[in-house]
Amino acid sequence: QKEVEQDPGPLSVPEGAIVSLNCTYSNSAFQYFMWYRQYSRKGPELLMYTYSSGNKEDGRFTAQVDKSSKYISLFIRDSQPSDSATYLCAMYNNNDMRFGAGTRLTVKP
Amino acid sequence: EAGVAQSPRYKIIEKRQSVAFWCNPISGHATLYWYQQILGQGPKLLIQFQNNGVVDDSQLPKDRFSAERLKGVDSTLKIQPAKLEDSAVYLCASSSGGANQPQHFGDGTRLSIL
């Protein structure tokens, strides 16, 4: 079992849809959770950074962490074609950083 | 604020040759990371520096990979000799050095081994 599991997709949605991206993990020691967006031929760009269980909202993006279930989510409201990218979840504790494989998202106009 | 700078953007070499990548982190960032991202996978940490000291190099294939950060700013990652399985994007990231500060990435060097 991988430490971080993420459905690679691809996921295709129409413009304006609500997108739900998810990761599960096995190591309960992870305390910090991140979502990165990676456009083709670019480096990962930090979108959301959270600590502990609960929700964090930033514009159209909401990150959700459920430590008891070892499950994190990223929701994108009113999705736009410019949101088309690969979304990577990442988690961190004590110098140990692990990434999911990424979910490729396409938002069609 | 200028981001993490990496060069070259692309590199093509034959197996058994050597190659070096360069990274300039965000100004003031004490912690620097090198990652390997194979196509279709998430980044995998190779080495982490805190200033010019190595914090973690447990996943660095030390028989062929080396990295240094002599003055605690720029860093170079070298592969010698390269193998076909080293084809990947090599990403550099930096953070401000606090124990749990988020990492900011450069656009990487795309390495192809022929």
pLDDT surpasses 70 at B99: no
Of chain A, the percentage scoring pLDDT greater than 70 comes to 99
pLDDT surpasses 70 at A1: no
- Give the model's pLDDT for residue B1: 67
Q: How many CA atoms lie within 13 A of B15 on its CB side?
A: 6
Å from B1 to nearest chain A CA? 15
Q: Give residue B67's pLDDT band: very low, low, confident or very high (50, 70, 90).
A: very high
pLDDT surpasses 90 at B8: yes
For chain A, list residues whose CB is within 8 angstroms of any CB belonging to chain B.
4, 6, 8, 31-32, 34, 36, 41-46, 49, 51, 88, 90, 92, 94-95, 97-102
A11: exposed, middle or buried (C-beta count within 10 Å: 0-12, 13-18, 19+)? middle
pLDDT for A57-92, tens place per residue? 999 999 999 999 999 999 999 999 999 999 999 998
Q: Which of A92, A48, A35 is nearest to B98 (CA)?
A: A92
Å from A40 to nearest chain B CA? 10
Dist. CA B33–CA B12, nearest whole Å: 23
pLDDT surpasses 60 at B109: yes
Interface of B with A in 44-103 (CB under 8 A): 44-45, 48, 55-56, 91, 93, 99-100, 102-103
Dist. CA B64–CA B73, nearest whole Å: 23
Q: Which residues contact B53 (CB under 8 A, 6 or more apart)?
A: none
Contact assignment for A34 to B104 by CB distance below 8 Å: no
- Give the model's pLDDT for residue A24: 96
Q: Give residue A15's pLDDT band: very low, low, confident or very high (50, 70, 90).
A: very high
pLDDT for B9-45, tens place per residue? 999 999 999 999 999 999 999 999 999 999 999 999 9
Contact assignment for A95 to B91 by CB distance below 8 Å: no
> A47 - beta bridge partners?
none
Of chain B, the percentage scoring pLDDT greater than 90 comes to 84
User: Which of A45, A95, A99 lies closest to B43 in CB terms?
Assistant: A99
Dist. CA B56–CA A1, nearest whole Å: 23
What is the overall mean pLDDT for chain B? 93
